[in-house]
Amino acid sequence: MSTQEVELRSTVAGFTAEGKLHTLSVWFILALRLMMGVAFLQAGSSKLLGGEFSAAGYLANAPAANGSPAADLFAAMAQTTWFMEFVNVAVPWGQIAIGLGILVGCLTRLAAFWGAFMMVLFYLGNWDVSHGYINGDFAYMLVFLSVAAFGAGRILGLDRYIEQYEVGGRPLVERYPWTRYLLG
């Protein structure tokens, strides 16, 4: 087993962060990816298999009851018929698609982006700051962003193979660099 360390360095807005990753980190990154994939696959499946899913009651009542700063937005969503029809399909099927993509490591960054987006909405909808601003929804959002940032789909995932698929004699990500935002 290799015990090399990998150097990390990133500069954002003039601030530089540096660190070292141990090669065992790859297993923890994989574990985070698999955990989120299973969690979202289960969440979406339970909504589909549990009968007719409707987010209307939640959107109309939960955010207002827990003092969410976005309560009016959620109430407006609940009162918009076409939007509720969309949400009632998008949430369970979106969770299944995100879960499967993350689980098998296919279009991982795209799936992680939408997973993080859903978690921001759940964070605002489930607003409860009585124990602080950090809760499970916020933590899940950060895990999704970490999965995307680390390119976790390349670790025993399909993205590793998709990126190398040759198009016109060149790997997909070399021929179409924008695909790096979806894969990894």
- Using the predicted structure, report yes or no on whether residue 1 has a pLDDT greater than 70: no
**Domain range enclosing 115:** 30-181
Residue 149 CA to chain centroid, in angstroms?
Answer: 11
Q: What is the length of the chain?
A: 184
- Using the predicted structure, report yes or no on whether residue 116 has a pLDDT greater than 70: yes
Within 13 Å, how many C-alpha atoms sit on residue 116's CB side?
16
Domain membership of residue 125 (yes or no) is yes
Domain membership of residue 22 (yes or no) is no
For the ranges 39-48, 76-85, 130-139, the lowest mean pLDDT is seen at: 130-139
Q: What confidence score (pLDDT) does residue 104 get?
A: 98
43 in helix, strand or coil? helix
Per-residue pLDDT of 146-173, as tens digits, reads 999 999 999 999 999 999 999 999 999 9
Q: What confidence score (pLDDT) does residue 2 get?
A: 56
Quote the number of domains for the chain: 1
What predicted TM-score, i.e. pTM, was given to this entire model?
0.89
11 in helix, strand or coil? strand
Domain membership of residue 176 (yes or no) is yes
Domain membership of residue 5 (yes or no) is no
Domain membership of residue 12 (yes or no) is no
